[in-house]
Amino acid sequence: MLRERLIAALGSDAVKTEPEDLAVYSFDAYTDGGRPVAVVLPKSTQEVSAVVKIARDCGEPIVARGAGTGLCGGAVPTAGGVIVSLMRMNRILELDLRNRRVRVQPGLMNLDLSRQVAPEGLFYAPDPSSQQISTIGGNIATNAGGPHCLSYGTTVNHVLGLEVVDDAGEVFVTSIEDAGYDLTAALVGSEGTLGLVTSAWLRLLALPEAVRVWVAAFDGMDAASEAVSAIIAAGIVPTALEMMDAVIIGAVEAAFHAGYPTDAAALLLVESAGFEEDVAASEEAIHAIVKQHGAHYWKSAHTLAERNALWAGRKGAAGATGRIAPNYYTQDVCVPRSKLPQALRAVEAAARINRITVGNVFHAGDGNLHPLLMYDKSDARQVAAVVETGNVILESAIELGGTISGEHGIGWEKRDAMTRVYSTADLAVMGRVRDVFDPRRMLNPEKIFPSGARCPEVTPP
Amino acid sequence: MKAPSDSVAPKTAAEAGEILARCDRAGEKVSIVGGATLRGMGFPPERSDINLSTKRLSGVVANEQADLTVAARAGTPIQSLTALLSTQGQFIPFDAPRPQYATVGGTLAAGWLGPRRHLYGRLRDYLIGSTIVLADGTIARAGGMVVKNVSGYDMSRFYVGSFGTLGIIVQANFKTVPLPKHARLFLARLPERTRARVCAQLQTLPMRPAAAFWIDGFHKAVDGDDGAEGRVAVLLEGSEMLLERATRELRSALGRAGVPETRVLDAGARESFQRVVDAYVACLGERSVTYRIASLPHSCEPNAQRANELARRFEMRAETIVDVLNGDIIVRVSDLDARALGAKIEAFDDALHEIEPRAQVIASDHPNRIYLRVWGESPPAIAQMQALKARFDPNRTLNPGRFVGGI
């Protein structure tokens, strides 16, 4: 019945129900999986709307899906249902150069957007590390960040308006210029639980005239962390301020020969972009600060090729850990920037106690840690140790005044950790928003909101 | 509408929660007051039994200078927060009118959109956490003191611009940014024939100014001069070297567009900018109504022109501030006295909404203001907004009728 109706609405090439097809859509980049009853690949807003109506009639939940690069199981159909893959809706719909904005479909790759507007001297600022494969829709669902959100802000700062299919299959639109509640801000980061975004107006920025990237190496993570705080405290906001530890430096050098000094215990990758005058002044100031904090190595990249080489190491860091262990798990926590040294020590201690190799590569400027816990998933001891280490890191971030996710989201993985940072009342208030947009809890169920007794899944009056 | 029968000023979130819970049960309506600087935005509440002031919910509660974060209670005046941050070389672009009175909570609740958002981003994007008291007395926290946080729905941003109809913002946590070391203001006469070209030049400058206005009729507010022609005012902010280069580029761009001479102000540049922002909501007694028309940068010049012509057709005086970088048009229409204005303002309001359906009233002391389309046309998602109101404040206890669509 479901299958027939979906095929009637979308055509047989857009509906998948064979076990081998469903298997492909059972996972995202998180470890746990689920099993959908069907996968559909709509090509238009009308088709998305039709799918939601059919699923609703048949009592099936809906899970919207982009490229499936999410790290927290946000696109995993844990409660079954219909997966709506938005990958065929990947076009730029309108490019308004004079007002520097663009309307895109959700399946457009993040990097494709910047590539397509580059000839006009523009770019789209949010750049999660997955940007070569992840989609705008997925980025909106998780309010994705990336190295450059230090100065440009996360996805929500760049979304001007949305077209959304609601839980009943009806279409509504939002704009940050509209009178009324800021529904755009409420929807960004809601992980597919309030509606399915079918197009988005995005803000574009002018490409900077000057970009420089510097690498500074230190003898310890503490010194590097303090340099990070000192740079920010000096009134400099680089466009990116990333840190790597010795484990990552070693892995990256072996894989990419990025040109990092292999004897360093910590490395800062700093980028400044803007006007020639400011970038040059930043170089001088940052160089002085890192020297004061004991940097023993400094390299400046001016040309695009040199910059790309330095960035290649950072962007490929997670993949490079494959040389150390077959699997890795990325934790994502954010702490106040000045608490970085303590947070890093807590990571190191947790990994040591649980006998897990950890590599740190993260957005230091934002205080956003991404410890990579390396393991072999065929070894049960290691799997248990990774889970335990991840939890300890989460706890220590909370104790330092931090949060359970800086940019990856809550999804399936961290939903029970929500009770560690929010009271039952706080979560019930979020639940009120859910009540309005998805009273039957059919849009990406079992995500964000904790399971069990403290679950705020109240029924609306 | 009857006068408020009672005024309260809770000192803590818990006190505010008790008051609201009591009123909510008793069916009493609560209007929420900060600095009252933006009370001309939106409708007055249709009924008010209790006036809840945030004036005693004041002060900075956390200030992590090295982390570039600060948390302030709702009633904290913008000016005192800004002064504190500036001693630390930091700022938040509130850009609120009359910051000596305007409060942190009120500015957020009004969703105030300042001119410098083109360069620095929206105020809501500086908000990293909040404490809210809901109509039923629930005290809820969202976000925290970290600059990146994606733990569930972004409830802090959600209350920005909600005009106190969902809850009372009792505390706001912000990230800050380094305060630009230098500021410079450019002022020049703007002959009508050069206007379009000047706006186009300002929009395509290689170096983005912090703010750029075409101002017509608010001369006194800007430079104390009552001259007949309009003005162009451009605020530059940044390092000294950057300002030098931006100055050269701006001069040559304005020259190309036919602006004859430019006055440059270094001392007092930000104060002059503030006077322009103050003018956004300044009323001429009871004889003016000020509209905000959200436009796009590229079309703001002709749209502002059109609104001005309409006012002239109604034989009203029109004064304009056009924020050419964001596309905001501020038009203050006025007449000789309240009666003269009252005789035509409703017809003007109809005519204006014919050409600018989204025009909003942002300031007026005229009694007929409540008969105008204060919020402009309803937003497309009004049904969702009404449902949110019903879920957050089912008894319509908070600021009833103040917001769009009867919310």
- Indicate which CATH number applies to the domain containing A220: 3.30.70.2190
Q: Pseudo-torsion of CA A60, A65, A68, A71, nearest 10°?
A: -80
Say whether pLDDT at A461 is over 50: no
Together in a domain, A333 and A372? yes
Is B391 in Cβ contact with A435 (below 8 Å)?
yes
pLDDT tens-digit series, residues A80-135: 999 999 999 999 999 999 999 999 999 999 999 999 999 999 999 999 989 999 99
Establish if A405 belongs to a structural domain: no
Per-residue confidence (pLDDT) for residue A31, from 0 to 100: 83
Q: Distance between CA atoms of B278 and B285, rounded to whole angstroms?
A: 15
Per-residue confidence (pLDDT) for residue B228, from 0 to 100: 67
Sign of CA dihedral B41, B43, B44, B47: negative
For residue A124, the domain's CATH number is: 3.30.465.10
Is A410 in Cβ contact with B150 (below 8 Å)?
yes
DSSP 8-state class, residue B378:
P
Query: Is A182 within 8 Å of chain B by CB?
Result: yes
Query: Is B228 within 8 Å of chain A by CB?
Result: no
Residue numbers of B between 10 and 49 with CB closer than 8 Å to A: none
Together in a domain, A198 and A221? no
Quick one: tokens of B309? 């012509």
Say whether pLDDT at B12 is over 50: yes
Q: Which pLDDT band holds residue B1 (cuts at 50, 70, 90)?
A: very low
Q: Which pLDDT band holds residue A459 (cuts at 50, 70, 90)?
A: very low
- In three-state form (DSSP H/G/I as H, E/B as E, the rest C), the secondary structure along A131-185 is CCCCEHHHHHHHCCCCCCHHHHCCHHHHEEEEEEECCCCCEEEEECCCCCCCHHH
Together in a domain, A304 and A362? no
Across the interface, of B65, B154, B384, the residue whose CB is closest to A189 is: B154
Query: Is A4 within 8 Å of chain B by CB?
Result: no
pLDDT, average across residues A308-320: 89
For residue A14, the domain's CATH number is: 3.30.43.10
Chain B residues within 8 A of A336 when measuring between CB atoms = 64, 67, 69, 145-146
In Å, what is the CA distance from B196 to each residue of A71, B116, B303?
50, 21, 11
Nearest CA in chain B to A178: B379
Across the interface, of B138, B151, B239, the residue whose CB is closest to A421 is: B151
Domain extent at residue A78: 2-85
Together in a domain, A255 and A313? yes
When scoring A333, A429, A443, A448 by the number of chain B Cβ atoms within 10 A, the one with the most, hence best to mutate, is: A429
pLDDT, average across residues A180-197: 98
Is B384 in Cβ contact with A436 (below 8 Å)?
yes
At residue A7, φ and ψ (nearest 5 deg) are -65, -40
For residue B338, the distance in angstroms to the closest alpha carbon of chain A comes to 28
Together in a domain, A228 and A169? no
Is A430 in Cβ contact with B152 (below 8 Å)?
yes
Closest CA to A389 of A342, A353, A335: A353
Query: Residues 6 or more apart from A392 whose CB is under 8 A from it?
Result: A346, A350, A353, A354
Q: What is the mean pLDDT of chain A?
A: 94
Per-residue confidence (pLDDT) for residue B261, from 0 to 100: 80
Chain A residues within 8 A of B327 when measuring between CB atoms = 99
Query: Is B148 within 8 Å of chain A by CB?
Result: yes
When scoring B117, B146, B296 by the number of chain A Cβ atoms within 10 A, the one with the most, hence best to mutate, is: B146
Number of domains in chain A: 4
Is B122 in Cβ contact with A178 (below 8 Å)?
no
Q: Is B352 left (phi over 0), alpha (psi -120 to 50) or beta?
A: alpha
Per-residue confidence (pLDDT) for residue B209, from 0 to 100: 95
Q: Distance between CA atoms of B74 and B55, rounded to whole angstroms?
A: 8
Establish if A222 belongs to a structural domain: yes
Chain B residues within 8 A of A426 when measuring between CB atoms = 140-142, 155
Instruction: Give start and end residues of each alpha helix (H) in B88-228.
Output: 104-109, 117-120, 155-159, 195-203, 219-223
When scoring A158, A181, A399 by the number of chain B Cβ atoms within 10 A, the one with the most, hence best to mutate, is: A181
* Beta strands per DSSP E along A263-391: 266-274, 297-301, 327-330, 333-334, 357-362, 368-369, 371-375
Is A460 in Cβ contact with B66 (below 8 Å)?
no
Together in a domain, A198 and A231? no
Chain A residues within 8 A of B121 when measuring between CB atoms = 153, 157
Per-residue confidence (pLDDT) for residue B225, from 0 to 100: 62
Together in a domain, A197 and A267? no
- Coil, helix or strand at residue A48: helix
Query: Is B111 within 8 Å of chain A by CB?
Result: yes
Q: Pseudo-torsion of CA A341, A343, A344, A345, nearest 10°?
A: 80
Q: Pseudo-torsion of CA B294, B297, B303, B308, nearest 10°?
A: 80
- Identity at A14, one-letter amino acid code: A
Q: Which residue has the higher pLDDT, A202 or A1?
A: A202
Across the interface, of B148, B160, B241, the residue whose CB is closest to A281 is: B241
pLDDT, average across residues A273-291: 93
List the beta bridge partners of residue A373: A329, A358
Establish if A436 belongs to a structural domain: no
pLDDT tens-digit series, residues B338-396: 999 999 999 999 999 999 999 999 999 999 999 999 999 999 999 999 999 999 999 99
Please give the model's pTM, rounded to 2 decimal places.
0.96
pLDDT tens-digit series, residues B208-261: 899 999 999 886 777 656 566 788 999 999 999 899 999 999 999 999 998 878
For residue B244, the distance in angstroms to the closest alpha carbon of chain A comes to 10
End-of-domain residue from the set A301, A318, A335? A318
Together in a domain, A313 and A331? no
Per-residue confidence (pLDDT) for residue A458, from 0 to 100: 43
Is B375 in Cβ contact with A334 (below 8 Å)?
no
Taking the domains of chain B in order of start, what are their residue ranges? Answer: 1-179+377-407, 182-267, 288-371
Together in a domain, A38 and A70? yes
pLDDT tens-digit series, residues B118-160: 999 999 999 999 999 999 999 999 999 999 999 999 999 999 9
For residue A7, the distance in angstroms to the closest alpha carbon of chain B comes to 31
Class of domain B1-179+377-407: alpha beta
pLDDT tens-digit series, residues A72-90: 999 999 999 999 999 999 9
Which CATH number fits the domain B288-371, given the four candidates 3.40.605.10, 3.20.80.10, 3.30.70.600, 3.30.420.40?
Answer: 3.30.70.600
Is A421 in Cβ contact with B138 (below 8 Å)?
no
Q: Do domains B182-267 and B288-371 have the same CATH topology?
A: yes
Quick one: tokens of A240? 């990116």
Helix (H), strand (E) at residue B235:
strand B230-238
Query: Is A215 within 8 Å of chain B by CB?
Result: no
pLDDT tens-digit series, residues B199-214: 999 998 988 899 999 9
Establish if A421 belongs to a structural domain: no
Together in a domain, A193 and A217? no
Say whether pLDDT at A63 is over 90: yes
Architecture of domain B182-267: 2-Layer Sandwich (3.30)
DSSP 8-state class, residue B180:
P
Query: Is B64 within 8 Å of chain A by CB?
Result: yes
Residue numbers of A between 409 and 428 with CB closer than 8 Å to B: 409-410, 414, 418, 421-423, 425-428
For residue A330, the domain's CATH number is: 3.30.70.2740
Query: Is B404 within 8 Å of chain A by CB?
Result: yes
Is A425 in Cβ contact with B139 (below 8 Å)?
yes
Per-residue confidence (pLDDT) for residue B329, from 0 to 100: 98
pLDDT, average across residues A175-192: 97
End-of-domain residue from the set A262, A287, A318? A318
DSSP 8-state class, residue B65:
G
- Using an 8 Å Cβ cutoff, are A307 and A258 in contact? no
The rounded radius of gyration (Å) of the Cα atoms in chain A is 22
Q: Distance between CA atoms of A187 and A440, rounded to whole angstroms?
A: 17
Is B67 in Cβ contact with A337 (below 8 Å)?
yes
Nearest CA in chain B to A155: B125
In Å, what is the CA distance from A147 to each residue of B120, B304, B362?
18, 40, 39
Neighbour-count burial of A316, counting CB atoms closer than 10 A to its CB (0-12 exposed, 13-18 middle, 19+ buried): middle
Query: Is A156 within 8 Å of chain B by CB?
Result: yes
Query: Residues 6 or more apart from B21 whose CB is under 8 A from it?
Result: B136, B137
The residue with tokens 């360069």 is: B119
Residue numbers of B between 316 and 355 with CB closer than 8 Å to A: 327
Q: Which residue has the higher pLDDT, A459 or A169?
A: A169
Query: Is B357 within 8 Å of chain A by CB?
Result: no
Chain A residues within 8 A of B245 when measuring between CB atoms = 275, 277
